[in-house]
Amino acid sequence: MRTTAKVAGYELRDVLRSRWLIGYTLFFLVVTDALFRFGGGGEKALLSLVNVVLFLIPLVAIVFSTVYLYAAREFTELLLTQPIRRRQVFAGLYLGLALPLSLSFVAAVLIPFIVHGGIATARPGTFVAFLLTGVALNFIFTALAILIVARTEDRLKGLGIAVALWLFLAVLYDGLVLLLISIMADHPLERPLLAMMLANPMDLARVGLLLQFDVAALLGYTGALLQKFFGRSMGVAVTAAAMAGWIILPFLAGMRAFQKKDF
C-alpha cells in the first residue's frame, strides 16, 4: 500500500502541473461561476451544472487519462524495473490520475459555491451527492481508460476506442434505448430498460443525481421507472452500488491485463 501511495503521489505532482489539467479546472471554474451569476440560486446552478458534469467529466477523464498513460509508457517501464510489484505500479498509476482529476473538479465547483454563498441555498445532501457523483464519474472513466491502455498496444487505436466509448455512452446509447422502446412498444419493458440503465455509467449518474433533486420531469423514462421500481432512497442506493461496480470491474480487468502485459 505504501508503495502504491508513493507512486500515486509522484504522479499526482506531475499531473497537477499539467497545463491541460490547469486549463480544464479554470474552464470548470468559469462555467460554475457563470451559472451562478446568470442562473440564480444554489440549487438552480447545481441543476444546470449537472448536464455539464455528466458530459464533460467522462470525456475529459477518459481522454486525458488515455493520452497521459500512453505518454507515460517509458516511465511505466522505469517503474516496473524497480523492485516493486506490478499491482502496486498499476494501482499507483490509476490513483495518480483519478485523484488529481477529482480534485480539480471539486475545487472548480466548491470555490464559486463558497464565493457566491451557494452552500447556504442548496441542500447539503444534494450538494454532497453532486460532488460524489462527479468524483465517481472521474474514477469510472479513468478506470476505463487504464483498461483500454493496458489492452491496446497502438496508441492511436486506444485513443480512438476511448473517444468512441464516450460517444457511444453519451449519445448513441439513449438513441438505442428509444429505438428499443418504439419497436417493442407492445411488450412489458420495465426490466430490460432498468438493466440497460444500469449498464451505462452516464445514465446511472444522471438518474442518481436527478433523484436527489426531486425533479421528476427531468428523470426521463428510465429514471421514472427506477423510482417506481425501488422507491427513491432505495433507487439512490441501487445507483450508488452500480456505480461502485463500474469503478471496480474495469479496474480489476485492467489490472489483470497489466499483470500479463509484455512491455
Partner 1 sequence: MITVREVSKSFGKLRVLDRLSLAIKPARITGLVGPNAAGKTTLAKIILGLTRPDSGSIEINGAPMGADDSYRSRIGYMPQLARFPDNLSARELLGMLTDLRGATPPLDEELIDRFAFEGALDKPIRVLSGGTRQKVNAVITFLFRPELLILDEPTAGLDPVASGILKDKVLAEKRAGKTFLLTSHIMSELDELADDVAFINEGKVAFIGAVGELKKITRQNSLERAIAEMMKRGVAA
Contact footprint for partner 1 (CB under 8 A): 3, 6-7, 10-11, 13-15, 17-18, 71-75, 77-85, 260, 262-263
Round to whole Å and give the CA distance between 147 and 44: 36
Residue 7 Cβ vs partner 1, minimum distance, rounded to whole Å = 7
Contact 25, 111 (CB under 8 A): no
Contact 203, 173 (CB under 8 A): yes
Round to whole Å and give the CA distance between 146 and 251: 8
Residue 235 Cβ vs partner 1, minimum distance, rounded to whole Å = 42
Residue 81 Cβ vs partner 1, minimum distance, rounded to whole Å = 4
Helix axes 190-198, 216-230, angle to 10 degrees: 110
Round to whole Å and give the CA distance between 175 and 81: 47
Round to whole Å and give the CA distance between 43 and 48: 9
Handedness of CA 209, 211, 216, 219 (dihedral sign): positive
State which residue, 87 or 191, has the beta carbon closest to partner 1: 87
Residue 5 Cβ vs partner 1, minimum distance, rounded to whole Å = 11
State which residue, 186 or 262, has the beta carbon closest to partner 1: 262
State which residue, 74 or 186, has the beta carbon closest to partner 1: 74
Nearest to 207 by CA among 189, 190, 224: 224
State which residue, 6 or 44, has the beta carbon closest to partner 1: 6
Residue 40 Cβ vs partner 1, minimum distance, rounded to whole Å = 39
Q: How far is CA 120 from CA 33, 55, 127, 214, in A?
A: 16, 27, 10, 19
State which residue, 232 or 260, has the beta carbon closest to partner 1: 260
State which residue, 99 or 193, has the beta carbon closest to partner 1: 99
Residue 259 Cβ vs partner 1, minimum distance, rounded to whole Å = 9
